[in-house]
Structure 1
Amino acid sequence: MQNFHPKHFAVVPAAGSGSRMGAVRPKQYLPLLGKPLIFHSLSVLCGAPEIDKVFVVLSVDDAEWGSHDWSALGPKLVPLFCGGPTRADSVLAGLRAISREAEQSDWVLVHDAARPCLAAWHIEKLVRELAGDEVGGLLAVPVADTLKRADGHRRAIGTVPRDMLWQAQTPQMFRYVMLRRALEAASNVTDEASAIEAAGLHPRLIEGDATNLKVTFPLDLHLAEWILSNREAC
């Protein structure tokens, strides 16, 4: 029987080490405004009325999660110690772990652990605009900069037309059964939309904004701090 009132589950893969940050501890636990980096997006997800439960997919041997106090985030937050070596592996493991709780037609919103500047309006817009969509979709922003193709020596060998190009963000939102089947069939992907595309489907692009940045390099951490500090002051 079709579920006419689908639930919305958030899945946050957080089993990676964040090696490009050059830090000793995993990126998701780096301090940001007095809290672990991942705390900020989890707080928004747990506080969103659209989200029924938030699953954080951690590595099996994660020793740091338990050293932090997550109680302020409430009962929606559920850690899953089943993460794999890649993002796709972790998301798929998380989907398998919640198989008894999620109906096939329930929505799953996958969000990067390294995007701490997620805002409530990002979630609200994504859920609202994809509510009746047959495929699902993702937050994204149109590419504004001129793009260059480089050779092996970092010399420009061409300019890539930016028309119709978008930069993918998260959350990425798809039906539980559709996303699980897509990831089962295409494990070598860097995001969920790629797996859906590999299945021959076309995710919808929901325009977000540049504040929903991904922390990849040390400077990004300072940018995230500035965004969160100024957002809270508004």
Structure 2
Amino acid sequence: MSKFHVLIPAAGTGSRMGTECPKQYLPLLGKPLIHHTLALFAAAQRISSVHVIISPDDHLWAQHVIDVDAKLHIHRHGGDTRAATVFNGLEAMAGQVAANDWVLVHDAARPGLSHAMLERLLDSVQDDDVGGLLAIPLADTLKRADVAQRVAKTEPRDGLWQAQTPQMFRYGLLKQALQHAGAAPTDEAQAVEALGYSPKLVLGELRNLKITYPQDLQLAEAILLADAKEQKKL
């Protein structure tokens, strides 16, 4: 039976946050942001292993008190782009996964993923021929800007979805896709699409936001605090 493995690219600097500290290490409820991301997968019984890919010169991982689960593996093979980091991570995992195993690539800065969403993705994709990803249908009207930051055109949103993570593909297929990707793809699904495949879209949730700007941390904190209150009620 195919196993489920998680790969978390965490070699970025998070420049849009406007902080010197990479966003995966920013404090969130008293712990590094990445701690909350890892905690969900550590507690998920269906996940066999979790692989975090950091930069070779990352000195912050050792400085932070991050709970290390037995299934957690750290690889100092971060690349210059997300695609390079993920590919390097796949290479580092080679001896621990089978070609037919599933790899779930998840952003280090998405701490709002819930167990229900993870289970929905696993259940929806585990028998799929291609793989898939969490995503949400676009609700807002899209405007294309010109060079002066004025509206050049309103884009139809019919059939448009906003991609999230995890993005879940067979180890062998994902590695092949990233090997053959031309211009660096912005996500794993794009690389798989370039091979002629159509990944499955699985409904995500707004809470699974990616921390990109300072105000996003406040939203994530509110979400995690609400989760903690619900747990106390149980």
TM-score when normalising by structure 1: 0.96
Q: Given that residues 25 and 32 in structure 2 are in contact (C-alpha distance below 8 angstroms), is that contact kept between their aligned partners in structure 1?
A: yes
- How do residues 61-210 of structure 1 correspond to structure 2 at under 5 angstroms? 61-71=57-67, 73-186=68-181, 188-210=184-206
Query: Which letter does structure 2 place at the counterpart of 1:138?
Result: L
Residue 139 of structure 1 aligns with an amino acid whose one-letter code is L
CA distance in 2, matches of 1:41, 1:49: 15
**Could you list the per-position Cα deviations for residues 38-78 of structure 1 after superposition, in whole angstroms to 9, with x for gaps in the alignment?**
1101000111111100000000000010112233x420111
Could you report, residue by residue, the CA deviation over 1:175-219 in whole angstroms, capped at 9, with x for unpaired residues?
000000000110510100000001110000000110000000001
Q: Distance in 1 between matches of 2:220 and 2:205?
A: 14
Q: 2:146 touches 2:152 (CA, 8 Å); kept in 1?
A: yes
For 2:19 and 2:132, how far apart are their aligned partners in 1? 33
Give the secondary structure class of the aligned counterpart of 1:99: helix
Q: CA deviation at 1:23?
A: 0.5
The 8 Å contact of residues 32 and 66 in structure 2, kept in 1 or not, is answered as no
Aligned residues: 229
Look up the SS of the partner of 1:61 in the other structure.
Answer: coil
Aligned-partner Cα distance in 2 for 1:130–1:49: 17
Q: Does 1:40 align with 2:36?
A: yes
Residue 8 of structure 1 aligns with which residue? 4
Structure 2 length normalisation: TM-score? 0.96
The gaps in structure 1 that reach 5 residues or longer are: none
Q: CA-atom RMSD, angstroms?
A: 0.8
- Structure 2 gaps of 5+ residues are none
State the alpha-carbon separation in 1 of the partners of residues 194 and 42 from structure 2.
31
Equivalent residue letter for 1:221: L
Distance in 2 of aligned mates of 1:97 and 1:105: 16
Instruction: Tell me how far 1:124 sits from its aligned partner.
Output: 0.6
Task: State how far apart, in whole Å, the 2-side matches of 1:68 and 1:45 are.
Answer: 19
Amino acid at match of 2:210: K
